[in-house]
Structure 1
Amino acid sequence: MTDIHVTVPKEKWAPVDRGAQDAEFIAAPSLTYWQDVRQRMWRNKPAMASLAFIILLILAAIFGPMLTHHTYYDQDLKLSNIPPIFEVYKAEPTDASAQYVFLNSGNFKLYEVAENGEILGLVRAKRKDLMKKQHIYVFGDAEVRVDYSQLPATLVDGDGNAVESIGYRWNQTNWFGTDSLGRDVLVRQLYGARISLTVAFVAAMVNFFIGVFYGGIAGYFGGNVDNVMMRIVEIIATIPLTLYVILMMVVFQSGFLSIIIAIGSVFWVDMARIVRGQMLSLKNQDYVAAAKTMGASTKRILTRHLLPNTMGPILVTLTLLIPSAIFIESFMSFIGLGVSVPMASWGTLTAEAVETLRAYPHQLFFPAAAISLTMFAFNFLGDGLRDALDPRLRK
């Protein structure tokens, strides 16, 4: 066998610089627990989309009504039940300018609109032929009729031929349309969001300040203290939550303040149970025994050692209980035990829209969609927090 020797120039070699600390060098950056939670939360797209939706909803509820000239109580019966999208027709030119109208097939009325979809006002019929089920309108020398002998109503010319539309336009005056009293649906939606989010905020605060500390004290002390405190919880939990809220609303009479009191008085029960279970599993840990040995007070052990270690389940439970509070408020308002008219709530908007569902389905769509999307958003956010706060679920 022939040996092959390859000579490598000296300048091709360079020594490796090594220090004593290089053996302990960690290439990946060191992250704290909450930094790791934030990174995993950021990678969860449904949770981040839900968080963005909730933030936008809060901003819209606070500042949205300030950016419009409509209010939640102003009524204009001439502009009642107008849809958010309508079909526009071009009438005969009047005074050398084109005139655009749209037909509200629900009430057989004709409205004058601008070409971009802005509503200018109600067009008065010249006469009404109830026998033939027609309303006759005159534009210049042309005659146009609203024929409702067969539903849906149609717009025809004097010869009975259907008037050709120029397309659909978005309602520029009332983006979500109007209700049966001519009130702007969008502004009432935003005021309804204020009420629902206020109820959610109250439920979250009650859960945190009452449920967390009540369950924490019961779980930490245990024994007779735990028995007495948990029996009170069981008595409250025996009555179904919805029935209890209804009873409270009957006693306090319906209204916004009453529903806050009703939900706030009983909504902390589930949180107290969860925190109690966490306390029972954590109070026997070594770091708690070390804190007791060093003379730490009960208050310090609870607030500085035990409660911070239960923040994961607390945050997840909060985000999952908030949609329940929103649904309860909407249900109470739907059956007439919630906020009082003319205040707007998603529940009251739904109740009003049910009466005109077949003719104006858009009035039910918006509050129902708001309730559904908000509940989905909080549930997705809760699932994302649960995955991010549990290191065992790290991928």
Structure 2
Amino acid sequence: MSEQVISKDLWEAIPKENKDAEIISRPSMTYWQDAWRRLKKNKLSMVGLLFIVFMVLTAIVGPYVISHDYSTQELTLANIPPSMEIYQVDEDTYFYMHSEYKLFDVTKDGVLVEKIKEIENDMTNRRRVYNIDGNEVVLDYSYAVKKAEDNPEGIKFKLLLNGEEIKPFDKVHNKTYVFGTDALGRDMLARVIYGARISLLIALVATLVNFFIGVLYGGISGYFGGQVDNVMMRIVDIINVIPLLLYVILLSVIIGSGLKSIIIALGSVYWVGMARIVRGQVLSLKEQEYVLSARTIGASSMRIMIRHLIPNAMGPIIVSMAMLIPSAIFTEAFLSFIGLGVSAPLASWGTLANDALGGLRSYPYQLFVPSIAISLTMLAFNFLGDGLRDALDPRLRK
């Protein structure tokens, strides 16, 4: 039998687009790997995530690193600002004059040493005299009460060194108290770090409550539906109608105000929003084919809900938790601000803001520091929540 010869003319070159059709353009990824890849492309979300990690590490390690305690009072060093204008006496001697007309011995770099005791205090003429390393320093603050026509330049005080007026030598940062001190001489940095611990605890409580109560409650309501869903959602409506502030006030009357009453109040009512979200997700997912297949092979309702429905709804659940955490942190700060939160000497960002109101005009930094901490934390969680929403949405996969 003769062999059949196939002519070369019968062959045709494959087009380049068909040749490259089978090439894998990127490695195969799971759903969560792809979500992490997309999240890393969102710069604001990564900034928020890094700030949250930084805050967690600071709250855990910070109290062991800084040299001051959050509750230790140094009344002689009260209301010291983060930056100071220092005056020079000689080459090695400097002092800082407080807005309350008190003098403090400081170094050239801004390290507080001690309060300088006056040798003469003439309150009638508003004049104080100090002896600093053999030099006479006179503080004349009588200008502050003079009339405008007698003090056209608006001078508040004059400092005289050995009879000659001196001006500020330099403005330095406070190396002893980086964020300054409060009205009782407590370190603001230590108290802000401790306030971060309170906020992280509230965030942890909100996360656990939303996950274990809200997810399970909403999952059961959405899966069984019918009369069960109707009754469970009416309970949610009743709980949702009563304001959180009323819960906290009632708990404060029963068990006293403090962090414990806030945690119980959040644990009682903060899961209702998550329950609604999970219920909606489960209502749409329970009609899918894989749920019918699980029922066919005899899987129990609890197994279907825990192993199939809730894992497939984890995207919206995680996004919702990331969005609800800053709301819980702000709620705690607000309750502490109005006096229903943690009690002294415990420090919370809300209590720090409340304590700063009395001296807002004279010491605005005492309000700015906790306010900035609250704002940055809420922005960080919101940025992360926005990034998670985009990263976990399968419709945006590329």
TM-score normalised by the chain length of structure 2: 0.89
> In the TM superposition, what whole-angstrom CA distance separates every residue of 1:78-115 from its partner, at most 9, and x where no partner exists?
1111111101111146xxxx21101111x110000111
Question: Aligned-pair distance for 1:22?
Answer: 7.8
Structure 2 vs 1, CA of residues 23 and 260 (structure 1 numbering), >3 Å: closer, same or farther?
A: closer
The separation in 2 between residues aligned to 1:278 and 1:150, in whole angstroms, is 70
**Structure 1 contact 154–162 (Cα < 8 Å) conserved:** no
> In the TM superposition, what whole-angstrom CA distance separates every residue of 1:9-54 from its partner, at most 9, and x where no partner exists?
xxxxxx99x9xx9863323322221111111100000000000000
2:95 is aligned to 101
Percent identity for Structure 1 against Structure 2 = 56
Deviates more, 1:353-362 or 1:132-141: 132-141
Task: Give 1:272's match in structure 2, choosing from 270, 275, 280.
Answer: 275
The separation in 1 between residues aligned to 2:94 and 2:303, in whole angstroms, is 73
- Any stretches of 5+ residues in structure 1 without a counterpart? 1-14
| Residue 335 (str. 1) matches residue 338 (str. 2) | yes
The separation in 1 between residues aligned to 2:286 and 2:190, in whole angstroms, is 50
2:129 is aligned to 136
1:75 is aligned to 73
SS in 1 for 2:169: strand
1:12 is aligned to none
The separation in 2 between residues aligned to 1:207 and 1:264, in whole angstroms, is 8
The separation in 2 between residues aligned to 1:258 and 1:171, in whole angstroms, is 37
**Structure 1 contact 103–155 (Cα < 8 Å) conserved:** no
What amino acid maps onto 1:136 in structure 2?
A: V
Structure 2 vs 1, CA of residues 288 and 117 (structure 1 numbering), >3 Å: closer, same or farther?
A: same
Q: How does 1:1-395 map to 2 (within 5 A)?
A: 24-92=22-90, 98-105=92-99, 107-151=100-144, 153-157=156-160, 162-394=165-397
Question: Aligned-pair distance for 1:394?
Answer: 4.5
- Any stretches of 5+ residues in structure 2 without a counterpart? 1-12, 145-154
The separation in 1 between residues aligned to 2:25 and 2:182, in whole angstroms, is 63
The separation in 1 between residues aligned to 2:276 and 2:66, in whole angstroms, is 45
1:11 is aligned to none
> In the TM superposition, what whole-angstrom CA distance separates every residue of 1:184-207 from its partner, at most 9, and x where no partner exists?
111111111101110110111000
Deviates more, 1:146-155 or 1:352-361: 146-155
Question: Aligned-pair distance for 1:67?
Answer: 1.0
The separation in 2 between residues aligned to 1:310 and 1:148, in whole angstroms, is 68
SS in 1 for 2:142: coil
The separation in 1 between residues aligned to 2:107 and 2:158, in whole angstroms, is 18
> In the TM superposition, what whole-angstrom CA distance separates every residue of 1:124-161 from its partner, at most 9, and x where no partner exists?
11112223322222234532222323457444215875
SS in 2 for 1:146: strand
The separation in 2 between residues aligned to 1:280 and 1:161, in whole angstroms, is 83
**Structure 2 contact 332–341 (Cα < 8 Å) conserved:** yes
TM-score normalised by the chain length of structure 1: 0.90
